[in-house]
Chains A and B, each alone.
Chain A
Amino acid sequence: DGGITQSPKYLFRKEGQNVTLSCEQNLNHDAMYWYRQDPGQGLRLIYYSQIVNDFQKGDIAEGYSVSREKKESFPLTVTSAQKNPTAFYLCASSIDPGGTGANVLTFGAGSRLTVL
């Protein structure tokens, strides 16, 4: 069953704690993305990676960190520096960043983070 798996589906965190969201894909896609989804604001790009061991900041990278050590994995860490971390987080991937399939994103089911 090919696709993107995000875990956990729901996560609760106390203020001051870091938390890591997992994103794994078995689609052999080159590019991976993290978006934050807030009501009325659409999806905002946090980080993206077009190749292993390389990633770029998106529009709202402050307070977040990522790594891309393997092609299939792109974990997102929400640090205590993120001022408003309660949100729904979506991971996505796309094949061949420079090709015709670029920007056709396959999305995961999402992770909802709540900071208590």
Chain B
Amino acid sequence: AQRVTQPEKLLSVFKGAPVELKCNYSYSGSPELFWYVQYSRQRLQLLLRHISRESIKGFTADLNKGETSFHLKKPFAQEEDSAMYYCALTKAAGNKLTFGGGTRVLVKP
């Protein structure tokens, strides 16, 4: 069965510091991975997906199949990055998404 683990429930960093959200998955095939974000009083929304290989709002994520990880990184955190972040995995297009437990990021001024 596929599983997604986000080991940190809360990350607190100062503005301008780097931030890294860890995401580990268990799946033997070639998964598709996503990061979703929920800002305060907003709906959950897609942040980025690994097949796009793009940087969104300064965030990047690299799929490491050897370590089965998809960590989300930003070199200089901003206060507006404070939100709940969810890592998600699917084994194929159109298949169900499995989410991790989420990491709350708090960026302090």
Q: Contact check, A100 vs B93: say whether CB atoms are below 8 A apart.
A: yes
Which A residues touch B98, using CB under 8 A?
A: 45, 59
A2 within 8 A of B: no
Q: Contact check, A103 vs B94: say whether CB atoms are below 8 A apart.
A: yes
Q: Contact check, A40 vs B101: say whether CB atoms are below 8 A apart.
A: yes
Bound CA–CA A102/B49 (angstroms) = 11
B86 within 8 A of A: yes
Contacts A107-B45, A108-B43; A102 near B94 (Cβ below 8 A): yes
Instruction: With both chains docked as a complex, state the minimum distance between the C-beta of B2 and any C-beta of chain A, in angstroms.
Output: 10
Bound CA–CA A110/B45 (angstroms) = 13
A-B CB pair tally, cutoff 8 Å: 62
Contacts A90-B44, A108-B43; A58 near B86 (Cβ below 8 A): no
Range of interface residues on B (Cβ < 8 Å): 20 to 34
Interface string of B75-105 (1 = CB under 8 A from A): 0000000000010101001111111111000
B26-58 residues with Cβ-Cβ distance < 8 A to A are 32, 34, 36, 43-46, 49
A27 within 8 A of B: no
Q: Contact check, B43 vs A98: say whether CB atoms are below 8 A apart.
A: no
Which A residues touch B43, using CB under 8 A?
A: 107-110
Bound CA–CA A83/B20 (angstroms) = 37
A7-33 residues with Cβ-Cβ distance < 8 A to B are 31, 33
Apart from A33-B96, A58-B96, A103-B94, what 16 extra A-B contacts exist at CB < 8 Å? A35-B99, A42-B4, A42-B86, A42-B101, A45-B96, A92-B44, A97-B93, A99-B93, A100-B93, A103-B93, A104-B34, A104-B46, A105-B36, A107-B43, A107-B45, A109-B43
Residues of A within 8 A of B (CB): 31, 33, 35, 40-45, 48, 50, 56, 58-59, 90, 92, 97-100, 102-110
